[in-house]
Amino acid sequence: MTLPTAPVPMTTTELLARLVAFDTTSRNANLPLIGFVRSYLDSHGVPYRVSYDPTGQKANIHAIIGPQEAGGMALSGHVDTVPVDGQDWSSDPFTLRAQDGKLFARGACDMKGFVASCLAAVPHFQARAYKRPLHLFISYDEEVGFGGARRLIQDLTESGLKPALCVVGEPSGMKPVLAHKGKVNLHVTVKGRPGHSSEPGKGVNAIYAAAAAIGWVRAEADRLAAEGPFEDGFDPPHTTIHVGTVEGGSILNIIPEQAAFTMEWRNIPGDDPMRHVARLQAHVAATIEPAMRAIDPSCGFSYEIALDMPEMGLPADHELASVVKQVTGSNSTGKVSYGTEGGFYQNAGIPSIVCGPGHIAQAHQPDEWIAQSELDSCDAFIRRLADRLLA
């Protein structure tokens, strides 16, 4: 009789080397990496669910160790990365390189390091025989619109296997982050009326109209900085507004018929970003569009929300915050202006916190790196946290 072969243990660094070898830039399919993770989980006898994006080329994994039921705690990480195009790397970005206590590769910090730590801990989790489930979330497209988190939440609703708590392992230097800002991305299109530039009064200059709206945005940024509302702990401590791209026109001697710009709000928790969108629309409707439509009623502005990312805010006295502080040995917690999947999970009724290895300043850069010591700290952290919350 042939006895079943025991799974070969893999360290966090070994698993990270395997994960970064897959080019999971958000424009690419992630199925080869997902296939590797599925084989790894299969070798350890861990059940999981797979959910796909509409193209079928990207997938999430929701694995459960312990009781196959709702409740317990989730450890969450995305495996898509930003591109390496145009960056000056010292070595192959998809081959893990160790030097002076640092591990270099695309995604090593953001955030395959955390995912590798979670996978390496699977034998520990299984040996502990927890009374409550340990969920592993591995998602796609965090860098380009959070499609994976949205799909994963849909799958949680369908399966009824929603965890009670979630730790998102974005790089935070292993310090607990209780809150982050929300974000709304808005694409604004302006329709004017073309004409010869020698007769400007017979046309409607779409670039002028866009510029007038952008001028209001600049003034609104100053108003928010001066008037708030404010929340201590954020840098800056208020909602921000920003225009990032502008385009319009065709050639110099034609009154531009089209213009467009993209902008964003990053709102502190409790400050509804849609009220800010409504303020912009009201200003445009009252002060810019009337003159445009007096010449041509078909002229005006149109708006498309490209991203609506909810903020995250965990109360400082929540059980999850208290335990994470104790396990990490941190006397303080933080708030950040960038966003994570934690806002989506919290919005779905799963209290969430951010705590993971590495630092955000090391991410998205050429020669992205994570310290081996940070991974070692993460290994200890997730094991102790699970023991505290699930045993």
Q: Are residues 232 and 297 in the same domain?
A: yes
pLDDT at 125: 97
- Model pTM? 0.91
Q: Answer whether residue 4 is part of any domain.
A: no
In a domain, 1, yes or no: no
298 in the same domain as 189: yes
On whether residue 70 sits in a domain, the answer given is yes
Range 27-40 average pLDDT: 98
5: confidence class by pLDDT, cuts 50, 70, 90: low
The answer on 147 and 205 residing in a single domain is no
Residue 251 lies in a domain: yes
Q: How many structural domains does the chain have?
A: 2
The tokens for 360 are: 């955000």
Q: Is the pLDDT at 101 greater than 70, yes or no?
A: yes
Section 239-246 average pLDDT: 97
Reported as type and span, the H/E element at residue 208 is helix 206-227
In terms of domains, do 322 and 245 share one? no
Q: Which of 271, 294, 309 is the last residue of a domain?
A: 309
DSSP annotation of 7 reads P
Instruction: Check whether residue 166 and residue 262 sit in a common domain.
Output: no
* pLDDT tops 70 at residue 6: no
Q: Any idea which residue has 């505290």 for tokens?
A: 388
β pairing state of 334-336 and 177-180: parallel
Apex 46 CA angle, 29 and 169, nearest 5: 60
Are residues 347 and 321 part of one domain?
yes
Task: Kindly state the helix (H) or strand (E) to which residue 74 belongs, with its residue range.
Answer: strand 73-78
204 and 349 part of one domain = no
pLDDT in tens, 301-345: 999 999 999 999 999 999 999 999 999 999 889 999 889 999 999
Q: Which residues are annotated as catalytic? A: 80, 142
Q: Is residue 22 part of a domain?
A: yes
Do 199 and 266 sit in the same domain of this protein?
yes
Q: Does residue 49 fall inside a structural domain?
A: yes
Q: Which domain holds residue 58?
A: 12-179+311-390
Last residue within a domain, chosen from 309, 341, 374: 309
Residue 2 covered by a domain:
no
| Cβ contacts of 313 within 8 Å, gap of 6 or more | 178, 179, 269, 270, 346
The CATH code of the domain that includes 88 is: 3.40.630.10
- Give the CATH number of the domain where residue 296 resides: 3.30.70.360
| Last residue within a domain, chosen from 283, 309, 335 | 309
Residues 284 and 164 in one domain: no
What's the half-sphere exposure (Cβ side, CA atoms, 13 Å) at 382? 35
Residue 89 pLDDT > 60, yes or no? Answer: yes
| Pair 59, 166 in one domain | yes
* 160 and 21 housed in the same domain: yes
